[in-house]
Amino acid sequence: MVKIRLSRYGSKHNPHYRIVVADARRPRDGGYIDNLGHYDPRKTSENYLVVNVESAREWLKKGAQPTLTAKRLLKASGVYNQ
């Protein structure tokens, strides 16, 4: 199954996440199919959440299943508002 989920990057005690489309069998920080955007949970800048809305909608139409956190972030960015 293809999932939309978060992949961690950044240094120790400074988490940043990529919002990615990946095979569910891959490790969290392993390879991914497509990068949809990024998220900074500490909100250190104005652009703490950036999502490619068109690409995210396409992957959802193809059947990609978002995790709970990814779904919350996609709703916040307006992917589900049509």
pLDDT digits 0-9 by tens, 2-26: 999 999 999 999 999 999 999 999 8
- What pTM value is reported for the model? 0.90
Question: Which of 75, 67, 5 is CA-nearest to residue 36?
Answer: 5
**pLDDT given at position 31:** 87
Q: Is the dihedral of CA 43, 77, 47, 36 positive or negative?
A: positive
**Are 49 and 37 within 8 A, CB to CB?**
yes
Q: How does pLDDT run across 26-69, given as a tens digit for each residue?
A: 888 888 999 999 999 999 999 999 999 999 999 999 999 999 99
